[in-house]
Structure 1
Amino acid sequence: MNLSYWEIKTWLTNIDYTIVGSGIVGLNCALQLKEKYPKANILILEKGFLPQGASTKNAGFACFGSLSEILSDLKQHSQDEVLELIKQRQEGLKRLRETLGDIKIDYKALGGYELFSEKDNALFQDCLSKREEVNQLLKPLFKADVFSLKPNTFQFKNIKENYIFNKFEGQIDTGKMMEALLEKVQAKGIKILNNITVDSFLDNKSSVDVKTNQFEFTTSKLLIATNGFASQLIKETVKPARAQVLITKPIKNLHIKGTFHLDEGYYYFRNIDNRILFGGGRNLDFKTEETTQLSQTDLIQNKLEEILKTTILPNTPFQIEHRWSGIMGVGSQKKPIVKQLSNNVFCGVRLGGMGVAIGSTIGKQLADITCN
């Protein structure tokens, strides 16, 4: 271990709660625990030098699901289950904005648009025919119609002449959000240790023995908030899902403003700092993208560039400045897993690509079940 007396005494002794993962869930969980127990000694362990999974790597969509995604969910879940999912996302976004403030996270209510390719006749007609039905389903939550039709004012090519518009969708600056969360957590005296990987743990009923790549220690409670990486530590049904992203160099007089979904949400793009951020494409090769490797593939990156050229920016020259990947946690069910695993071990994982929307809520739920 090669740790000094001071290191052990200050950082690794008398720990009440240890949270694995310093993403949106882990940080919000820590804040909630500190609110309940101001004198609690809380430690957060993070495997990366920054939050490693998706919290600092997502597209910054403040969304709760496109119309086609909601219709797809209704085929797999009951109406009540889908409504509960959307309510959780709505409340999570509200909680995130209230916790940090719109200015801190650069929240912009520019609305969200779902685009349909010219070949997507069946999907487009299905969405049109069921739009009012979904609006009625969501009215108790939003007190207004959510989905409306808008013409192709952004002059995208090879898509239907109308978008489906969601006035309740917005966008945030992911980096500013996480910076603000980290500042808030550290200001409360909560400790964060980076570049620490939890290798294993043992719940001995009175406490939990934790073994990391750097040291071993004991904590009263252990909370797993690693989402897409959860299967490396626990046996819950959550799979990693890689999301590949690229961003252009600044584009002069960029007229595209908002968040955009294409192909049932498998592709998504937005404006940010006069650039287009564009991600998705894991439906091209689901099996390969079921990975925790933070890398890119030619198959998906080439497809993203192709869609940029032919659909999003057909008459605008652009250059790609940067590419990256994030790791989501998904499963056959959209419902997140928040549960007690043993006497002193708990988890809040499987956010299904909705970390920005539900991370704050799942963090609170994780803290709540730990305290019961």
Structure 2
Amino acid sequence: MNLSYWELKTWFTNIDFTIVGSGIVGLHCALAMREKFPKSKILILEKGILPQGASTKNAGFACFGSLSEIIDDLKSHSEEEVIQLISKRWNGLQLLRKNLGDQTIDFKPYGGYELFLKNDEDTYIDCLQKLPFINDLLKPLFRNDVFAKEVDRFAFQGIQEYVVFNPFEAQIDTGKMMNALLQKAIANNILILNQVEVTSYQEKNNEVEVALGDFSFTTKKLLFATNGFAAQLTNNQVKPARAQVLITEPIPNLDIKGTFHLDKGYYYFRNIDNRILLGGGRNLAFETETTTELGQTELIQNRLEELLKEVILPNTEYKIAHRWSGIMGLGSTKKPIVEQLSEHVYCGVRLGGMGVAIGSLIGQELADLVK
């Protein structure tokens, strides 16, 4: 780095808090830190042009888990743990809406639907049988039934007769949300540097030395909000999980509105700007998709196109406009990791594919750790 006196003085001197990652967690953490420490100098470092993980690459689902996902979670988590997870996701969504406003994030309460393929009879029957039990489990939190059995009104093909509807689910515009968060951070005098990668760090007495390649600087506290990339620097048990996505060109008279889940949440799609956005398929190749490399694979893209043609838009002409991928952070449990790693280093990671729902809350919790 060939830095001037002004650059060193303005961006890399007398730093109180350095946050690694400018996604939903990192920005919410920085804003919470600004409230807590009004006169502090806060620096956010981001290795991408835009947030590198999933914050600007997700599907924009304001969701907290489909019926089949919740039933699946109950196999590896206690009822209390599952209720806590859903409560955290729901409260996180309310915090996001409160912080930015529904109009700003283009919040649309169209509801969510879970579809079941014809050849997935077992999951379908299991979900319909357990639907009343899950509703009873969630009633203290939502004061109402969350899931209801409905006949498909969207003319999808190759699916079971009934879909499961969730009126509490909604969709947002991911780009508008992140742009608003970035603008809010800048308005609160939070410094953000992009395309800067932290390569290592070392704790020294009352500060942390942070290395950016061959250049280093010191900060009083270091906070990691790197989710799917967390294992690289924090040694946390976080596995990256790539999510591949495609989107169509605008489709005239598109009647599909809502967020849709398929195959235990491994596939998901929605309407946006008269297009269909469809993602998922990592269950076809878990090992290949446990990666921090952004990109697409023929296997998964072909399956997405197959679902689009045969199930979602069977009698509609469409063209695919664009494809991309994002990196999530998963683990053996769905509980996020928000902890102090050492005297001056902290992390808020492993969002379990629910970053939109819990990112704001995890950012707040990460800031709360710092004394």
Please indicate, yes or no, whether the TM-score normalized by the shorter chain is above 0.5. yes
**CA offset digits 1:282-339 (Å, max 9, x no partner):** 0000000000111000000010001100000000011000000000000110000000
Offset, 1:10: 0.6
Work out the percentage of aligned pairs sharing the same amino acid. Answer: 67
Asked if the contact 1:53–1:226 (Cα under 8 Å) also holds between the matched residues in 2, the reply is: yes
Whole-angstrom CA distance in 2 between matches of 1:12 and 1:41: 10
Asked if the contact 1:240–1:291 (Cα under 8 Å) also holds between the matched residues in 2, the reply is: yes
- 1:257 is matched with which residue? 257
Question: What pairs with 1:104-123 in structure 2 (closer than 5 Å)?
Answer: 104-123=104-123
- 2:150 is matched with which residue? 150
Whole-angstrom CA distance in 2 between matches of 1:213 and 1:62: 37
Whole-angstrom CA distance in 2 between matches of 1:59 and 1:168: 17
User: Paired residues, what number?
Assistant: 371
Offset, 1:214: 6.5
Whole-angstrom CA distance in 1 between matches of 2:222 and 2:354: 24
Structure 1 residues without counterparts, runs of 5 or longer: none
Offset, 1:237: 0.3
Offset, 1:141: 0.7
- 2:283 is matched with which residue? 283
TM-score scaled by length of structure 2: 0.99
Q: Which amino acid aligns with 1:318?
A: Y
Q: Secondary structure at the match of 2:315?
A: coil
Asked if the contact 1:205–1:344 (Cα under 8 Å) also holds between the matched residues in 2, the reply is: no
Asked if the contact 1:205–1:343 (Cα under 8 Å) also holds between the matched residues in 2, the reply is: no
Whole-angstrom CA distance in 2 between matches of 1:241 and 1:324: 14
Whole-angstrom CA distance in 2 between matches of 1:275 and 1:256: 9
Offset, 1:251: 0.2
Answering whether residue 291 of structure 2 is matched by residue 308 of structure 1, we say no
Question: What pairs with 1:115-264 in structure 2 (closer than 5 Å)?
Answer: 115-213=115-213, 215-264=215-264
Offset, 1:267: 0.2
Offset, 1:215: 2.7
Offset, 1:370: 1.5
Q: Which amino acid aligns with 1:363?
A: G
Answering whether residue 292 of structure 2 is matched by residue 292 of structure 1, we say yes
Whole-angstrom CA distance in 1 between matches of 2:150 and 2:175: 31
Answering whether residue 305 of structure 2 is matched by residue 325 of structure 1, we say no
Offset, 1:184: 0.4
Whole-angstrom CA distance in 2 between matches of 1:78 and 1:104: 37
Q: Secondary structure at the match of 1:90?
A: helix
TM-score scaled by length of structure 1: 0.99
Aligned structure 1 segments of 4 or more residues deviating by more than 3 angstroms: none
Asked if the contact 1:239–1:329 (Cα under 8 Å) also holds between the matched residues in 2, the reply is: yes
Q: Which amino acid aligns with 2:359?
A: G
Q: Which amino acid aligns with 2:79?
A: Q
Asked if the contact 1:171–1:258 (Cα under 8 Å) also holds between the matched residues in 2, the reply is: yes
- 1:270 is matched with which residue? 270
Q: Secondary structure at the match of 2:287?
A: coil
Structure 2 residues without counterparts, runs of 5 or longer: none
Question: What pairs with 1:82-93 in structure 2 (closer than 5 Å)?
Answer: 82-93=82-93
Offset, 1:119: 1.3
Whole-angstrom CA distance in 1 between matches of 2:317 and 2:92: 38
Offset, 1:65: 0.1
Q: Which amino acid aligns with 1:329?
A: G
